[in-house]
Amino acid sequence: MKTKLIAASMIFAACAIGAAEAAAKKQKKAEPFGDELLVRVKSSVDGSMQPCWFWAPEKAKTEAVPLIVGLHTWSMDYTTKANYAPSLRYAQKRGWAMVGPNFRGPNKTPPACGSDLAVQDILDAVEYAKGRVKVDASRVYIVGGSGGGHMTLLMAGRHPEGWAGCAAFCPISDLARWHADSLLAHPGRGKVYAKMMEKACGGTPAEKPDEYSRRSPLTWLANAKKAGVPVYIVTGIHDGWTGSVPVGHAIRAFNALADEKDRVSEADIAAIEETQKIPSTLKGESQKDPFYAAKNTIHFRRTSGNVRLTLFEGGHGGNFPAAFDFLARQVKGRPADFTLPASGKGREDAISK
């Protein structure tokens, strides 16, 4: 009997070890990259050590390479590695450097949500990379979705001198407007976002109008337009219904960067947000693009100067392959290059909130 018990215990222990090893392998496979890429970047404003992901190819020690800045979403922080994985994978594939700053984490505290500290954290991450490897200053790019799209556009406006190209998915462009949007009883919206903004800005838009304005891309995008920064804006036409950010935020960002004759009217924005369809006044403005297949077809595309807007069949999402292809063509100081490749992978990348 004792021998049988020992044997049974050994079998149970072996099974437990096997299960633990399998779980560990599964977890490792699920992780897009390891913690060995985590560094701490000293803030040039408050001296705090801020978490940041950093990777560079070996050749960057002797050869200047492009740098891509990947950003997390509205409610996340640096620990949500999936937010940074597309930028890291692309950098590794192309031999670029990559940084993924935390910029003070979820947008629910005063230091986060587009504050001066958050803005400087992104600039400090870029300088960190430049201080450790050779970076081609004419090819520094930034990309993000949702809250990362908000920060991408904010950085384009506040520091246009730093970017060769910017790509923003389903961005928030006006915090005061999004505060109001979030309070509506409406599918896809959520009052939690209004509460987060109130915590970050110290009150409601009525109480703290300057804070909401300073942290909103629309306040600054005229600087990006004047500097000629290439900007690629993408959102799904159903966002605001199946997602949390009405498409008008993306369209108004486009308007701020576009020539006056190319801007979309407020009446047409309202129609798109209400019906989730393109009104007759804008029909026919599309384009065949290999990055947008039948399931995520382009409903509306307009290009003006150095900015392009794409509304596709989808929700709160974007298209990383299309964005990276666009960014890779941009060089600081040159007009935007909107050339399309002969082939590409059509897809929608859902963006976390």
> In which region does residue 264 sit, left (phi positive, over 0), alpha (psi from -120 to 50) or beta (all else)?
beta
What's the chain's average pLDDT?
92
Dihedrals φ, ψ of 74, to 5°?
Answer: -55, -50
Burial class (CB in 10 A: 0-12, 13-18, 19+), 7: exposed
Give mean pLDDT, residues 214-223.
98
Q: Which residues contact 24 (CB under 8 A, 6 or more apart)?
A: none
Give alpha helix (H) positions in 39-165: 85-94, 116-132, 147-158
Q: Enter the DSSP assignment of 101.
A: E
pLDDT at 31: 83
Q: Whole-prediction pTM value?
A: 0.91
Domain ranges within the chain, ordered by starting residue:
1-30, 36-350
pLDDT in tens, 143-164: 999 999 999 999 999 999 999 9
Amino acid at 57: P
Angle between helix 147-158 and 116-132 (nearest 10): 80
Whether 101 contacts 125, CB under 8 Å: yes
Both tokens assigned to 129: 């990379």
Residue with tokens 């930034």: 142
Q: For 37-96, write each residue's pLDDT tens digit.
A: 999 999 999 999 999 999 999 999 999 999 999 999 999 999 999 999 999 999 999 999
Q: If you search the block for the tokens 């620990």, which residue do you land on?
A: 79
Topology of the domain covering 36-350: Rossmann fold (3.40.50)
Tally of CA atoms within 13 A in the half-sphere of 101 that contains its CB: 28
Angle at 204 between CA 199 and CA 210, to 5 degrees: 95
Mind spelling out the 3-state secondary structure of 271-295?
A: HHHHHCCCCHHHCCCCCCCCCCCHH
88 and 70 Cβ atoms separated by less than 8 Å? yes
Tens digit of each residue's pLDDT (9 = 90 or more) over 232-256: 999 999 999 999 999 999 999 999 9
How many Cα atoms within 13 Å fall on the side-chain side of residue 305? 19
Bigger pLDDT: 188 vs 123: 123
